């Protein structure tokens, strides 16, 4: 697992321009042995609370005769999918194409649909858990506008019942849990496998990169302006961001030159972004602000993986395509705050038409249960303005695209051989309001079965409460 | 009674005014949904004359001289009815200046009349209309008491006359929200409620008389509760947990005239038998399934289906969300009928739960909410199954008048079909 993590990190560093990790190593050779303090500042454990998740046991399973959307945009009518050893072992149009073990569980998928596990690129499950009482408000460290030192995983309460609802009703198998948007730099997000666990480490997606949550616009300036401190304006937002990036650039230079004398949690996260090993997830509603953020990213040599809540992304589909930055959007929610005033239901459709990356996200413990429904609404609204998008493409907005947005697209997000056995069997087309998950597998283990009431997670909090183990 | 009669007369005048602009129309070759819980009717016709439904269903003849629209097999339904919403009170929720849904600093509470702030030009009304919503019960307004003011029944027509019935009902919070407003405990909500109803009773017995010197309510607020204690105005009560629902049902022992409507009712399924026996209508928030608070620990999406099966007069409302999502909520309840162990609604029941059901809970079932004869000509034509996600609205009629469906969103959509500028900046493209 560790190895995979390092490989992914290196791969990302190579892809990104302006990253100096390799060059720095060469320079180090010529230097004399660094001091203990310098070593500590440089060679710290990058993953001090590592994932302890191990796939649960599963049986080889083949689904025959279902309509299969593979997550990459392909559709197989009367297709077959084989899960084996926790992985997707094969997918195709007929059984003859697959090497099915004799003892495999065989499921008749006639009239049913199969998709990769649904992925939510924007969730606060665990850091704003149910019940939503003040004592559970752990998503926004609103004591400083830049808190890249806080990590969402240290807030996640694994007993949030929302995780089980996301699986049972939404087919969600992986999610990015982010800090909130009260701060310009809200902290690190963590990718989780949607598996019940006693500890957050037991949910952490092995080898997934970290993300830095950033936020544009109204929230940070309102939160800090009302405290009588910077930022209180949008220009203040940028000033604080740029000053912080300047510090991070300086920190990283010193680090690469072996001149650091102490660790700095804030700077370690930001240097990780500049190295390309930590992805940027930027909450940003307005098109004009997104365009400024893209320039800020260029100024400091990082990349914005995804704009979240980009209700105005449709105004700059061309710029977003060029930047290869995804937009994680709702289908048709908007208008609730000034910067959401120009939200339109055709946002996703217009982005798709522009060739930009579309992700449907939730940011909500209820919405995460209905991501395919949101995508279907966007599909319908696109069709009414002449943009026809095939079901299989729309499914990509919930699977491979969010996997890419959060940095796990090599591991999950599509039903390609060798990828994680994260899969959902639906009782009808998932883009219909009348369909629900029938079975959900995570790494090949069957963790939800609508016809087996004991194959339904019940959190500690729900034990002994009214409706314990109910259908929900 | 007098008041009811007066408002009925006033309404007749209003309706007559709109009816003069309404054109007679017959929508033929339609898949007709009456909205009363029955199944859709293939090849049906909906006939609207003088702003009202004359007939709907199969075998309806189109009288000579009435304009006929061929629906080409499309779905035709009554307009959607959404109860307990801030429609018309708000332009942008988080822009306080544009938001009239809270008045916590006002010295008044129960007397606050929401009909005075309804803005028929607000974008949320236009956007909801384009989503097929034609009528709404607007409430509550946030106050510093348990009372949420006198709610308004409105239509979403593109005309200045938005209010169908002003002061249609009173709204009260008796759960966690009420407790925090009343001083920190449910115990205090009941003290506040009994005191308020008591002051109203005293005023009703001696309308011009002097009041005790230890009253807590302004005369205006106490006066506003008179129609509640005398049963002339329904009382919408927001509660979620089973124990609170039982307490509310018990109020009628002391105040037999109360016309209760329960709002929210996340744990209604736990007291479904009592609710059914009471005959009290329920406007349930659909799809709650998280233990979001300690008054919602028993939440399940099967709540509505279980209540319906037990005979509760349940329909949907209080989404605290966009009104045009009503069909999605209803469709999800149909989905539950295919989930082992879950309870949902049939298609017909689900559509009724967002049309005639809320209209009846409001006491307006004779006026609108279905395509039964005599109801307002609120009709929507859809390009597919109205509960299905990919379907959209083709035409909307309110009181027989075809409505404009454009709004800020559609204008932006048209401008940005192509994001890049042409020979002039985007600002010239309109």
Q: What is the pLDDT of residues B310-351, one digit of tens each?
A: 999 999 999 988 999 999 999 999 999 999 999 999 999 999
Residues 92-121 of B with CB under 8 A from A: 92-95
Is the CB of A449 inside 8 Å of chain B's CB atoms? no
Architecture of domain B80-368: Alpha-Beta Barrel (3.20)
| Min distance B416 CA to chain A CA atoms (Å) | 6
Read off the pLDDT of residues B208-228 as tens digits, 9 standing for 90 and up.
889 999 999 999 999 999 999
Q: How large a percentage of chain B has pLDDT more than 70?
A: 95
Contact B412 A384 (CB under 8 A): no
Residue A304 inside a domain? The answer is yes
Average pLDDT over residues A262-290: 98
Residue A320 inside a domain? The answer is yes
Q: How large a percentage of chain B has pLDDT more than 90?
A: 93
pTM for the full predicted model: 0.93
pLDDT at B381: 98
Tokens of B151: 């709610």
Instruction: Tell me: pLDDT of A28 over 70.
Output: no
CB of B74 closer than 8 Å to CB of B127:
no
CB of A393 closer than 8 Å to CB of A155:
no
Identify whether A131 is preceded by a cis peptide bond (ω within 30 of 0): yes
CB of A371 closer than 8 Å to CB of A362:
yes
CB contact burial B39-73 (16+ within 10 A = b; e otherwise): ebbeebbbbbbbbbbbbbbeebeeeeeeeebebee
CB contacts of B322 in chain A (<8 Å) are: 332-333
Enumerate residues 6+ apart whose C-beta is below 8 A from A141: A147, A150, A179, A182, A183, A186, A187
CATH of the domain at A270: 3.20.20.140
Nearest CB to B341: which of A315, A337, A453?
A453
Contact B416 A350 (CB under 8 A): yes
CB contacts of A435 in chain B (<8 Å) are: 335
Average pLDDT over residues A277-297: 98
Read off the pLDDT of residues A240-266 as tens digits, 9 standing for 90 and up.
999 999 999 999 999 999 999 999 999
Q: How far is CA A6 from CA A206, A212, A413, in A?
A: 11, 18, 21
Contact B412 A342 (CB under 8 A): yes
Chains A–B, number of C-beta pairs less than 8 Å apart: 150
Name the pLDDT band for B11 (thresholds 50, 70, 90): very low
Residue B402, Cβ density class (10 Å: 0-12 exposed, 13-18 middle, ≥19 buried) = middle
Say which DSSP state B141 is in. -
What are the start-end ranges of the E strands in A277-416? Answer: 279-283, 304-308, 326-329, 358-360
Tokens 């026996």 appear where?
B277
Mean pLDDT of chain A: 93
Read off the pLDDT of residues A106-146 as tens digits, 9 standing for 90 and up.
999 999 999 999 999 999 999 999 999 999 999 999 999 99
Tokens of A184: 């310009």
Residue A45 inside a domain? The answer is yes
CA distance B399 to B379: 8
Contact A467 B297 (CB under 8 A): yes
Average pLDDT over residues A194-204: 98
Closest CA to B381 of B56, B19, B16, B160: B56
Read off the pLDDT of residues A136-192 as tens digits, 9 standing for 90 and up.
999 999 999 999 999 999 999 999 999 999 999 999 999 999 999 999 999 999 999
Q: How far apart are the first and last CA of chain B?
A: 52
Name the residue of chain B whose CA is nearest to A374's CA. B389
Is the CB of A439 inside 8 Å of chain B's CB atoms? no
Read off the pLDDT of residues B49-94 as tens digits, 9 standing for 90 and up.
999 999 999 999 999 999 999 999 999 999 999 999 999 999 999 9
CB contacts of B243 in chain A (<8 Å) are: none
Q: Of A347 and B21, which is predicted with more confidence?
A: A347
| Min distance A265 CA to chain B CA atoms (Å) | 34
CB of A184 closer than 8 Å to CB of A390:
no
Residue A62 inside a domain? The answer is no
Residues 329-368 of A with CB under 8 A from B: 332-333, 335-338, 341-346, 350, 354, 365-366
Contact A165 B290 (CB under 8 A): yes
Average pLDDT over residues A311-315: 98
Instruction: Tell me: pLDDT of A12 over 50.
Output: no
Is the CB of A387 inside 8 Å of chain B's CB atoms? no
CB of B83 closer than 8 Å to CB of B362:
yes
Instruction: Tell me: pLDDT of A7 over 90.
Output: no
Largest CA distance in chain A: 69
- Note down the domain range covering A297: 2-50+118-412
Nearest CB to A335: which of B123, B300, B383?
B123
Q: How far is CA B146 from CA A260, B143, B189, in A?
A: 60, 7, 7
Contact A335 B127 (CB under 8 A): yes
pLDDT at A39: 80
Q: How far apart are the first and last CA of chain A?
A: 35
Instruction: Tell me: pLDDT of A433 over 70.
Output: yes
pLDDT at A384: 98
> Considering just the CA atoms, what is the radius of gyration of chain A in Å?
22
Domain ranges of chain B: 1-78+370-403, 80-368
Is the CB of B341 inside 8 Å of chain A's CB atoms? yes
Q: Of A432 and A27, which is predicted with more confidence?
A: A432
What is the number of domains present in chain A? 1
CA distance B88 to B164: 13
Residues 30-69 of A with CB under 8 A from B: none
Nearest CB to A467: which of B292, B300, B409?
B300
Read off the pLDDT of residues B158-191 as tens digits, 9 standing for 90 and up.
999 999 999 999 999 999 999 999 999 999 999 9
Contact B342 A131 (CB under 8 A): no
CA distance B170 to A285: 38
> Considering just the CA atoms, what is the radius of gyration of chain B in Å?
22
CB of A310 closer than 8 Å to CB of A319:
no
Nearest CB to A433: which of B289, B332, B417?
B332
Residue A14, Cβ density class (10 Å: 0-12 exposed, 13-18 middle, ≥19 buried) = exposed
pLDDT at A43: 82
Q: Does domain B1-78+370-403 have CATH number 2.20.28.160?
A: no
Residue A434 inside a domain? The answer is no
Mean pLDDT of chain B: 95
Read off the pLDDT of residues B241-274 as tens digits, 9 standing for 90 and up.
999 999 999 999 999 999 999 999 999 999 999 9
Nearest CB to B389: which of A132, A380, A427?
A380
pLDDT at B320: 83
pLDDT at A32: 64
Instruction: Tell me: pLDDT of A21 over 60.
Output: no
Contact A385 B417 (CB under 8 A): yes
CB contacts of A354 in chain B (<8 Å) are: 419
CB contacts of B293 in chain A (<8 Å) are: 131-133
pLDDT at B410: 98
Tokens of A448: 């939800």
Contact A450 B339 (CB under 8 A): yes
Residue A108 inside a domain? The answer is no
Instruction: Tell me: pLDDT of A31 over 60.
Output: no
CA distance A352 to B128: 25
Read off the pLDDT of residues B122-147 as tens digits, 9 standing for 90 and up.
999 999 999 999 999 999 999 999 99
Name the residue of chain A whose CA is nearest to B293's CA. A131
Is the CB of A313 inside 8 Å of chain B's CB atoms? no
CB contacts of B412 in chain A (<8 Å) are: 342, 344
Contact A315 B416 (CB under 8 A): yes
Interface test with A, best of B336, B354, B390 (most A CBs within 10 A): B390
pLDDT at A409: 98
Say which DSSP state B91 is in. S
CA distance B253 to B198: 14
Interface test with A, best of B306, B327, B351, B413 (most A CBs within 10 A): B413
CA distance A414 to A396: 8
Q: Strands across the sheet with B133-138, in order?
A: B80-85, B133-138, B147-155, B163-173, B235-239, B260-264, B282-284, B314-316
Tokens of B352: 């009724």
Q: Which long-range contacts (CB under 8 A, 24 or more apart) does B187-193 make?
A: B189/B146, B190/B247, B192/B145, B192/B146, B192/B216, B193/B146, B193/B251
Residue A405 inside a domain? The answer is yes
CB contacts of A465 in chain B (<8 Å) are: 291, 297-298
pLDDT at A426: 98
CB of B84 closer than 8 Å to CB of B318:
yes
Nearest CB to A435: which of B94, B335, B340?
B335
Is the CB of B422 inside 8 Å of chain A's CB atoms? no
Contact A465 B291 (CB under 8 A): yes
Residue A55 inside a domain? The answer is no
CB contacts of A226 in chain B (<8 Å) are: none
């Amino acid at each position: 697992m560790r190895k995979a993590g390092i490989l992914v990190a290196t791969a990302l560093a190579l892809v990104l321009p302006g990253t100096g990790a390799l060059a720095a190593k060469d320079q180090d050779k010529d230097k004399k042995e660094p001091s203990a303090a310098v070593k500590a500042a440089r060679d710290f454990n990058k993953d001090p609370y590592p994932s302890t998740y191990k796939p649960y046991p599963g049986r080889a399973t083949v689904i025959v005769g279902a309509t299969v959307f593979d997550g990459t945009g392909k559709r197989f009518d009367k297709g077959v999918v084989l899960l084996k050893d926790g992985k997707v072992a094969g997918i195709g149009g007929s059984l003859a194409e697959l090497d099915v073990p004799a003892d495999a569980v065989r499921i008749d998928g006639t009239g049913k649909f199969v998709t990769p596990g649904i992925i939510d690129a924007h969730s606060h499950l665990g850091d704003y858990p149910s019940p939503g009482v003040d004592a559970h408000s752990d998503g926004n460290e609103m004591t400083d506008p830049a808190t890249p030192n806080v990590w969402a995983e240290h807030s996640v309460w694994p007993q949030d019942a929302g995780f089980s609802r996301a699986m049972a009703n939404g087919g969600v198998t992986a999610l990015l849990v982010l800090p909130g948007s009260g701060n310009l730099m809200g902290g690190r997000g963590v990718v989780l496998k949607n598996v019940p666990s006693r500890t957050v480490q037991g949910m952490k997606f092995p080898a997934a990169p970290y993300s830095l949550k950033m936020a544009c616009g109204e929230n940070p300036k309102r939160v800090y302006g009302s405290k009588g401190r910077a930022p209180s304006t949008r220009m203040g937002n940028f000033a604080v961001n740029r000053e912080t990036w300047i510090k991070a650039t300086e920190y990283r230079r010193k680090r690469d030159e072996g001149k650091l004398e102490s660790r700095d949690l804030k700077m370690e996260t930001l240097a990780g972004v500049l190295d390309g090993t930590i992805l940027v997830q930027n909450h940003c509603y307005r098109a004009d602000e997104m365009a400024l953020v893209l320039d800020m990213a260029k100024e400091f040599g990082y990349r914005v993986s995804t704009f979240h809540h980009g209700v105005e992304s449709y105004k700059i589909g061309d710029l977003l395509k060029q930047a290869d930055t995804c937009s994680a959007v709702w289908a048709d929610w908007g208008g609730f705050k000034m910067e959401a005033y120009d939200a339109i239901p055709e946002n996703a459709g217009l982005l798709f038409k522009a060739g930009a990356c579309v992700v449907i996200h939730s940011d909500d413990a209820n919405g995460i249960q209905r991501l395919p429904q949101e995508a279907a609404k966007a599909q319908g609204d696109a069709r009414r303005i002449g943009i026809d998008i095939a079901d299989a493409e729309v499914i990509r907005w919930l699977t491979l695209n969010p996997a890419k947005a959060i940095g796990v697209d090599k591991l999950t997000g599509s039903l390609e051989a060798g990828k994680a056995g994260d899969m959902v069997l639906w009782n009808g087309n998932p883009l219909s309001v009348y369909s629900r998950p029938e079975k959900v597998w995570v790494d090949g283990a069957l963790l939800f079965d609508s016809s087996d009431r004991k194959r339904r997670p019940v959190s500690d909090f729900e034990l002994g409460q009214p409706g314990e183990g109910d259908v929900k | 009674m007098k008041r009811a009669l007066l408002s009925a007369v006033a309404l007749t005048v209003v309706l007559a005014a709109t009816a003069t602009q309404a054109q007679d129309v017959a929508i033929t070759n339609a898949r007709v949904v009456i909205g009363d819980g029955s199944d859709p009717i293939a090849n049906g016709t909906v006939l609207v004359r003088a702003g009202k439904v004359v007939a709907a269903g199969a075998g309806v003849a189109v009288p000579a001289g009435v304009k006929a629209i061929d629906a080409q097999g499309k779905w035709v339904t009554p307009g959607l009815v959404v109860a307990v919403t801030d429609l018309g009170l708000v332009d942008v929720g988080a822009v306080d200046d544009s938001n009239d849904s809270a008045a916590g600093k006002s010295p008044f509470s129960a007397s606050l009349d929401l009909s005075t702030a309804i803005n028929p030009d607000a974008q949320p009304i236009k956007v909801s209309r384009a989503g097929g919503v034609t009528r709404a019960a607007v409430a509550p307004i946030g106050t510093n008491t348990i009372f949420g003011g006198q709610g308004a029944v409105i239509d979403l027509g593109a005309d200045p006359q938005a209010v169908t019935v002003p002061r249609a009902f009173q709204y009260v919070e008796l759960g966690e929200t009420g407790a925090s407003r009343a001083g920190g405990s449910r115990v205090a909500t009941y003290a506040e409620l009994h005191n308020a109803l008591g002051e109203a009773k005293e005023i009703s017995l001696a309308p011009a008389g002097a009041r005790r010197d230890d009253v807590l309510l302004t005369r205006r607020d106490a006066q506003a509760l008179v129609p509640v204690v005398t049963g002339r105005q329904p009382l919408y009560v927001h509660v979620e947990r089973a124990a609170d629902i039982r307490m509310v049902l018990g109020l009628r022992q002391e105040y037999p005239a109360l016309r209760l409507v329960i709002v929210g009712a996340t744990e209604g399924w736990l007291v479904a038998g009592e609710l059914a026996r009471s005959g009290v209508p329920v406007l349930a928030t659909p799809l709650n399934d998280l233990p979001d608070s300690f008054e919602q620990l028993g939440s399940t999406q099967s709540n509505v289906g279980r209540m319906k099966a037990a005979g509760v007069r349940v329909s949907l409302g209080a989404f605290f969300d966009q009104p045009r999502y009503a069909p999605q909520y209803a469709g999800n309840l149909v989905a539950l009928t295919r989930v082992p162990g879950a309870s949902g609604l049939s298609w017909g029941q689900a559509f009724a739960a967002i049309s005639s059901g809320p209209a009846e809970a409001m006491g307006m079932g004779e006026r609108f909410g279905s395509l039964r004869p005599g109801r307002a000509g609120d009709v929507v034509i859809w390009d597919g199954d109205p509960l299905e996600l990919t379907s959209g609205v083709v035409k909307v009629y309110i009181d027989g008048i075809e409505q404009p469906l454009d709004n800020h969103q559609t204008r932006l959509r048209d401008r940005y079909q192509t994001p890049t500028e042409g020979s002039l900046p985007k600002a010239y493209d309109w």
